[in-house]
Chain A
Amino acid sequence: MSNFSFLNPFGVLDEPGTYMGDFYSHNFSKKAKEGTVILNLGPQHPSTHGVLRVLVELYGEYVMRSEPVLGYLHRSHEKMAEHKTAYGFLPNMGRVDYLNAIGWNWAYAASCEQLAGIQVPERAEYLRVISAELNRISSHLVWWGAFVLDLGAFTPILYAFDDREDLCDILQRVTGSRLTMNYFRFGGVGADGDERFFRLIREFIPRMRERLKMYRALVTDNVILRRRLEGIGSMDADMCLRYGATGPILRAAGVRRDVRKAIPYGIYDRFDYEIPVADRCDNFGRYWVRVEEIEQSLRIVEQAVAQIPEGKHIVDKAPKPAWKIPAGESVFSVEGARGEISVHVISDGGKSPYRVKLRAPGFSNLALFAEAAEGTLLADAIATLGSLDLVIPEIDR
């Protein structure tokens, strides 16, 4: 390689086949500075949580510039919506974000219900809240284990998966599946909770509270974890606004924004719970917000299980599989585990929705990574990436 240059390490011509690497590494290397190294993180690296690829330009151990490369798990969910019936698209929602299937179930079902003016029975509203909050806890637990694993601690993920196993058992009672749950229907939910379902939840809540105490002693107060997280990966409120970052990232930047409180949907206004907010803007703030949210979700579930009335779990004359969404447009947002999930439906009254847009919170949250990671150590950039709680299928859709 006689013509190798640090300024343009992947070649000089733009035609494919004339440069080293692929399109994205070539595109990224065009702005490379002398003396730096361009490195691909992923798409098969464990710390990228799936198939995210991040191109980084390193000067020694420092990240000068970075660019996430997406699309390795793009399954065209939005295009599928244009070919399936509105009802037939429901199972896709469990597959957009495999850790927070119920959140997506809710966003899509409610968006269509809003447009059609379908009312949901009281009992179904409670079942929706219970399943969504349990799913939020299970999502946060997986994040918690995987994040600490990124930082080099192996044991906590085994504890997290032990607790998540209980949640899978509970949700399986009503949804029938453990991961890609398809529980919501237009006008209610797919199945009523039985005695065993509620008993498992009542057993789970005190057990989880004890476990949270243990997690605090074992991990949260650990000095090594604190040193890895405190003061690293600053994302302030202005940055969140410019990138549209939501969820725990926004709340760790001191903004009290939670869709459950801001735009109370379902019956969230009936419960007594707090929105954890930290103004640290760093990795530890985001860690703390999520761990606190587990406790708040337990509070909501506890109240919902105590208050749930008898009744139907789905409205009479609920839409059938061949149901057509009335013509019009509808946007509906819910608070998912990772932030604000929005589903935008345009219907022409035909058998399939005309256009469905899935607003994945992870997509906007990841967009801010490049700015946040600039000038940090590579190991800290990995911690920052983990603190964003990325689920790649959701980002790629």
Chain B
Amino acid sequence: MSTPEAWRDAFKEAGALAVTRPDPAKSGLALSAHMPAGSLVAAAEKLKAGGFSLLFITTADFTEGFLVTYVFDSFTEHLRMALRVLVKDKSCPEVPSLAHVYQGAEWHERESYDFYGVIFTGNPNLVPILLPGDDPIPPPHRKGPDVIASIRKLGFLGEAEWASDGWELAPAPPETKPAAGAKPAAEKPAAGAKPEAKPETEKPAAGAKPEAKPEAEKTAAGAKPAEAGKEEGK
């Protein structure tokens, strides 16, 4: 089981919300599976049985919630893949821990706990790792719609190969149309992007992009897409 297609089916079986295929030449990722928090451990167990190792865990703050990304690679053959969990509740972000599958996850999870306050339930020693142990966790976050980006607007997740009905990071209906905002850079249409997906769904992403460029206008202009993002979320 070493092809992205085989893994797409494996993640689907493990309960993925969606499986996307970012452009490997640009992102360095062959596959990205979006898991509900409850199915994360099942997917990680499959990866471990397949001889994959957990390279790192990274969390990023978006308007939709905290996006926790787990990057895996195989030591025997190169296939870099990501599992992602979107934690919507920022006041009490909870994700199951992978520390009993990959012992190395314990430290990476503690690092995300330090800086984002993500609580990894089941981590055997969830105390700060890089910040002082008795400091308040987490430290202050980025605030305001002008500095927090929206996953949907950025659209870096790539084209959805398959998406369930519950997946809301793509406004386009699953199966019929690939994910919206699949390729964000409007000036450079990616070679792999399907043209019929572009016209309707791409436009908001393309429109949102120039706003990020002039720094002075960023505050004013940036507020709009964030609000728009909230509406879409509802």
Contact = CB atoms under 8 A, between A and B. Distances in A.
Contacts of A368: 103-104
Interface stretch (A44-52, A211-219, A351-359): A351-359
Contacts, number: 148
Interface in B37-53: 48, 51, 53
B75 A257 contact: yes
B62 to A, nearest CB: 9
Given A71-B130, A349-B213, A340 B107 contact: no
Contact of A359 (B55, B128, B215): B55
Interface stretch (B6-14, B22-30, B169-177): B22-30
A255 B142 CA distance: 42
Main SS of the interface on chain A? mixed
B78 A70 contact: no
Interface string B127-141: 111111110000000
Contacts of A115: 26-27
Given A329-B157, A359-B56, 20 more contacts: A27-B127, A67-B125, A70-B130, A71-B132, A115-B26, A115-B27, A117-B188, A237-B75, A241-B51, A241-B53, A241-B75, A244-B104, A328-B184, A331-B27, A331-B80, A331-B82, A333-B55, A346-B154, A364-B104, A367-B103
28 contacts: A16-B134, A22-B133, A111-B28, A114-B25, A237-B75, A241-B48, A241-B51, A242-B53, A243-B103, A243-B104, A244-B56, A244-B102, A244-B104, A327-B154, A328-B185, A330-B26, A330-B28, A331-B28, A331-B29, A331-B82, A332-B28, A333-B28, A333-B55, A333-B80, A344-B58, A344-B71, A350-B213, A351-B215
Interface of B: 22, 25-29, 48, 51, 53-56, 58, 60-61, 69, 71, 73, 75-76, 78, 80, 82, 102-104, 106-108, 125, 127-134, 142, 149, 154-157, 184-185, 188, 209, 212-213, 215, 218
Kindly list the 5 A-B residue pairs having the minimum CB-CB distance in the complex, ordered from nearest: A23-B133, A243-B104, A357-B58, A331-B28, A329-B156
